[in-house]
């Protein structure tokens, strides 16, 4: 049996949110012996002190391996910064792990904390899960050099979206393979009526018509615009409510200001997220356009669609590329979204649309990688 080592772009093994290579690693583990590299995240909603603490813990971490379901989780000393030193330090420990466990294939989703050497005995797939540039000149120059290095070394390169594949061809003159994000389709299609009813009772939703967003709400989610569009719609759809599910990077005072009058923020949740997808009547993706958002493959779009929901979305490039008839595209303009919500209310999921979603099950996504690494 082949031994595959997976390095994620984000160390989210214990997160509730779905991380691309975490889910792909789980799916691959049914056919291969899969090893997964894990370390601590030092960004996001963490204080400076917490980030320093995680950084120090990682750099002095001892080597260890443990089982998590079918995955062999590997941890070793890991350096986050400085950037000029981190790849060399981390790659030393990575090479030790590769040799120790007799790895046959490496799938690397981290484009700046590891370097894979050219002189090797294993197959190497470089995976790009997001548009990598941030607008920070120093960081972006470093990332550009790292990506060029990994592209020149890899046996194959995969990207999360068609838009990102086009970008890589234009910028680096490199052909990459499109391997999208996915969802657990069958799990999302199984409606837990008791769970749905519990959600409606907990947030006093009763027989409301639920317009909803599920996922982390960062600055790329135009919450204020969405609430404004909802307020307009509610003048005509009296029983409408807006359910916003997930944690947020917005200040608590800002969230409180927007809440009330049938606008409900749940904050982070601990129960089954699938019940929240299924309790919606229609779903929304009010993301501000940017290179990152245009080239992202939004997992929640597949999750909404697996739960058979009509979706209203900003016309981001990769959303347009999906061409799902269940997704209504609307610019972030008040009139456009009001009309789109009213249109979505009158639409019904068509049974034939299921086949458009089926290829995006995580098992099928893993099969795409299997074909590459054979």
Q: Of the residues 179, 196, 217, which one is the last residue of a structural domain?
A: 179
pLDDT tens, residue by residue, 176-223:
999 999 999 999 999 999 999 999 999 999 899 999 999 999 999 999
Is 370 a domain residue? no
281 shares a domain with 212: yes
Write the CB contacts of 58 (distance below 8 Å, at least 6 apart in sequence): 39, 40, 42, 77, 78, 79, 80
DSSP characters over 269-331: --S-HHHHHHH-SEEEE-BPP-HHHHH---HHHHHHHHTT-EEEE---HHHHHH--TTEEE--
Q: What is the mean pLDDT of residues 63-82?
A: 92
Give the residue numbers spanning the domain of 293.
185-359
| Residue 231 in tokens | 């307020």
Say if residue 170 is exposed, middle or buried (CB neighbours under 10 Å; 0-12, 13-18, 19+): exposed
234 shares a domain with 349: yes
Write the CB contacts of 325 (distance below 8 Å, at least 6 apart in sequence): 350, 353, 356
pLDDT at site 194: 95
With the CA atoms of 354, 330, 217 and 262 taken in that order, what torsion angle do they form, in degrees rounded to the nearest 10? -90
Q: What is the mean pLDDT of residues 110-115?
A: 89
Whether the predicted pLDDT of 152 surpasses 60: yes
122 shares a domain with 80: yes
Half-sphere CA count of 25, side-chain side, radius 13 A: 32
pLDDT tens, residue by residue, 55-70:
677 777 889 999 999 9
Is 22 a domain residue? yes
27 shares a domain with 143: yes
95 shares a domain with 215: no
Sign of CA dihedral 25, 30, 33, 39: positive
266 shares a domain with 142: no
pLDDT tens, residue by residue, 10-47:
876 666 678 899 999 999 999 999 999 998 765 544 45
Write the CB contacts of 193 (distance below 8 Å, at least 6 apart in sequence): none
Please report where in the chains the tokens 């317009």 appear, as a residue. 211
Q: Of the residues 163, 179, 195, which one is the last residue of a structural domain?
A: 179
Sign of CA dihedral 113, 116, 162, 33: negative
- Quickly list H helices, the chain: 20-28, 48-59, 86-100, 137-153, 162-172, 185-189, 193-202, 223-234, 252-258, 273-279, 291-295, 299-306, 317-322, 334-345, 354-357, 362-373
372 pLDDT band, cuts 50/70/90, is: very high
C-beta of residue 209 within 8 angstroms of C-beta of residue 177 = no
Please tell me the total count of domains within the chain. Answer: 2
C-alpha distances out from residue 291 to 21, 101, 333, Å:
22, 39, 20
Whether the predicted pLDDT of 330 surpasses 60: yes
pTM of the model: 0.91
203 shares a domain with 141: no
Pairing label, strands 33-37, 3-7:
parallel
Please report where in the chains the tokens 């990506």 appear, as a residue. 147
Mean pLDDT of the chain: 93
Query: How far, in Å, CA of 325 to CA of 359, rounded?
Result: 16
327 shares a domain with 199: yes
Is 372 a domain residue? no
Whether the predicted pLDDT of 121 surpasses 90: yes
Is 80 a domain residue? yes
C-beta of residue 158 within 8 angstroms of C-beta of residue 128 = yes
Q: Of the residues 121, 145, 179, which one is the last residue of a structural domain?
A: 179
Q: What is the mean pLDDT of residues 317-342?
A: 97
pLDDT tens, residue by residue, 274-322:
999 999 999 999 999 999 999 999 999 999 999 999 999 999 999 999 9
Task: Write the DSSP symbol of residue 221.
Answer: B
Of the two residues 11 and 358, the one the predictor is more confident about is 358
pLDDT tens, residue by residue, 123-134:
999 999 999 999
C-beta of residue 163 within 8 angstroms of C-beta of residue 176 = no
334 shares a domain with 208: yes
232 shares a domain with 117: no
Measured in residues, the chain has a length of: 374
CATH number of the domain where residue 140 is located: 3.40.50.2000
Write the CB contacts of 14 (distance below 8 Å, at least 6 apart in sequence): none
Is 365 a domain residue? no
By C-alpha distance, which of 109, 112, 111, 113 is closest to 94?
Answer: 113
Largest CA distance in the chain: 66
113 shares a domain with 71: yes
Q: What is the mean pLDDT of residues 3-10?
A: 94
Most confident of 37-41, 42-46, 110-114, 166-170: 166-170
Is 364 a domain residue? no
144 shares a domain with 38: yes
Is 28 a domain residue? yes
Is 50 a domain residue? yes
pLDDT at site 46: 47
Write the CB contacts of 113 (distance below 8 Å, at least 6 apart in sequence): 78, 79, 80, 86, 87, 90
């Amino acid at each position: 049996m082949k031994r595959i080592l997976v390095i994620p772009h984000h160390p989210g093994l214990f997160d509730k949110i779905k991380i691309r290579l975490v889910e792909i690693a789980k799916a691959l583990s049914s056919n291969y012996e899969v090893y997964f590299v894990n370390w601590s995240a030092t960004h996001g909603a963490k204080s400076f002190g917490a980030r320093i603490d995680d950084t120090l813990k990682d750099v002095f971490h001892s080597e260890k391996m443990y089982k998590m379901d079918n995955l062999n989780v590997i941890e070793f000393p890991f350096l986050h910064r400085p950037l000029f030193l981190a790849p060399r330090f981390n790659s030393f420990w990575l090479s030790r792990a590769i040799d120790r466990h007799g790895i046959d294939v490496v799938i690397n989703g981290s484009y700046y904390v590891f370097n894979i050497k050219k002189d090797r005995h294993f197959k190497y797939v470089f995976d790009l899960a997001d548009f990598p540039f941030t607008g920070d000149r120093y960081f972006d120059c470093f990332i550009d050099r790292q990506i060029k290095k990994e592209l020149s070394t890899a046996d194959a390169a995969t990207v999360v979206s068609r838009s990102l594949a086009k970008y890589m061809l234009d910028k680096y003159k490199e052909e990459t393979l499109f391997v999208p994000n996915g969802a657990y389709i069958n799990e999302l299609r199984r409606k837990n009526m008791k769970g749905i009813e519990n959600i409606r009772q907990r947030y006093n939703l009763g027989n409301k018509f639920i317009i909803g967003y599920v996922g982390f709400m960062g600055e790329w989610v135009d919450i204020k615009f969405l609430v404004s569009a909802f307020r307009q719609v509610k003048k005509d759809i009296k029983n409408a409510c807006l359910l916003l599910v997930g944690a947020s990077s917005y200040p608590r005072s800002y969230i409180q200001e927007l809440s009330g009058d049938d606008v409900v923020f749940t904050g982070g949740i601990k129960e089954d997220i699938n019940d929240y997808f299924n309790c919606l009547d229609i779903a929304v993706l009010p993301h501000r356009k940017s290179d990152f958002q245009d080239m992202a493959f939004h997992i929640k779009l597949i999750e909404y669609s697996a739960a058979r929901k009509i979706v209203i979305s900003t016309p981001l490039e990769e959303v347009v590329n999906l061409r799902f008839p269940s997704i209504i595209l609307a610019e972030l303009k008040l009139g456009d979204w009001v009309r789109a919500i009213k249109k979505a209310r009158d639409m019904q999921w068509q049974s034939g649309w299921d086949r458009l979603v089926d290829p995006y099950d995580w098992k099928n996504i893993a099969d795409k990688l299997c074909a590459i690494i054979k």
